Amino acid sequence: MPANRPNKPDLRFESPLRRVRVLDPATATLVAGSPMPRGTAYIGDHLLVNRTSNDGDLLPRLESIAAAYDWRLAEPKDARRPVVRRLADDEPPIGARVLELSPVPGRAVRPPDAWDLLQAARAELGREAVRSVGLDHVLSLAAVGSDPFHSGDPFHSGDPFHSGDPFHSGDPFHSGDASALSSYLWAGHGGRQPVALTAPPPAARTGTSYRPVVAVLDTGCGSHPWLDPVVNGSVTLGTHPIGYTDSATAPEEHPDIVGPLDGSLDPLTGHGTFIAGLIHQACPQAEILSWRIVQADGMIVESELVDCLTDIAELVRRNAVGEPDGRRIDVLNLSMGYYHETAADALFDTTLYALLELMGECGTVVTTSAGNDATTRLRFPAAFAPWTDGGGTPLRTDCLPVLSVGALNPDDTDALFTNTGAWVSAMRPGAGIVSTFPKLDAGGQAAAHTVVDGRVRESIDLDDFASGFAVWSGTSFAAPVLAGQIAARIAELATGPTSTVDDSIARAWKAITDTTAIGP
């Protein structure tokens, strides 16, 4: 076994996969007068409730509706659900509660389903009464070939995302036919593969002493000579860790966790390290904060993402108001998202946006990936961006925006897979792009191997990343390119430490305008 290939740990992490439901519009429970829902994925036995709801009777009323199905609805007593105060003392804090559904003891019932309960509550109590209640969605990363919506999971069974989806219609991975779209999945056409890079490490720009901070919430970051001096993966909220911290389940450290003993490189391995490398290339002087919210199976549960973002928002809030243990974050990158089932009717919980808005008020720009489904359908949190046609979230001079980013080909044309629409703020390189990768080797072997004159001679081993660099494609990688560019411009504009939050926001707005032409 090569020295750089770690032994696969004997581990079993708890995956939410068995609890995931796919909402199929053809069979979904409907409410008279409401638009037809669209497909999405969610945790079947969870409801997510915005803590800003001041209706003290809401939970008992939901419990009563659940009882009619012989289901029990309760909030777990041992779960830590963080909250963050807003800047104005008279406004309620931000956070989410998770309510779990389970069968009533002693009864044989059909599996609890959060969508059915939510629709029943809307019908009985009215839509406005339960506006603070929503599904606990499942998000995916936006790298071509590493998306759980595209790799052998329950989303392929009766999932509307795969009926008429160009990634699955005419895709050789799904139907045996050639497709221009699916070519991005193949090594040599923009799919993940090792490359050799002889360029020197990026050098910090001269003329500025300001060191911007860019945070990444992703699969974590593996060890790499370029990144070890600039990436900090140990930032906590006081003594409380943020995200997953067990190294035994880290995709950036163990290349083969998903699929017992199959020897294959997991689809998401290297994702966070690749993103960190793109930020470092665009802004070498940036400090990169890395937290892990994604397990090796690719599942991102909305409630867990909200909890992590609540902790991160508390860090920047403390910094903004001068409290101890705060951290300045100039840019936060989120290369993930989901499609909401009732976005057109605005029947979605606002907890996620409230957290991103608070960060914007504290001086943090949020960059997000638009998605890889070649669609104009709204994908969140990217669709929280201000829209180029004047719609979406209104621009504010006192709050930095969410920015959504689509992917360009190497020739600056739009990548065939990228999502697009008025809700996409900017386009950046994201297809066939080169960045850092953990020095890992999985079970695949070179197609040809021999020894000539005592030297090994072989074809490229497509899962041996001993070079420490890779090529990959996806809007996952377009977003951190913009994040790094904004951070670099912030550093150029800085004349010294920022004295106030207003100064930080004004400088960041200037950086956004200079790099995207978006302005308040």
Residues with a known catalytic role? 218, 271, 476
- Residues 6+ positions from 334 with CB-CB distance below 8 Å: 217, 366, 367, 368, 369, 381, 479
Cα(114)–Cα(300) distance, integer angstroms: 18
Helix or strand holding residue 331 (H, E): strand 331-334
- Size (the chain), residues: 520
Cα(459)–Cα(213) distance, integer angstroms: 41
Q: Which of 299, 137, 293 is nearest to 217 (CA)?
A: 293
**DSSP-based three-state secondary structure for 171:** coil
Cα angle vertex 257, ends 135, 165, to 5°? 50
Contact between 267 and 145 under an 8 Å Cβ cutoff? The reply is yes
- Residues 6+ positions from 485 with CB-CB distance below 8 Å: 282, 283, 428, 515
Q: Which of 257, 187, 191, 259 is nearest to 219 (CA)?
A: 257
Burial of 236 (0-12, 13-18, 19+ CB in 10 A): middle
Cα(227)–Cα(247) distance, integer angstroms: 18
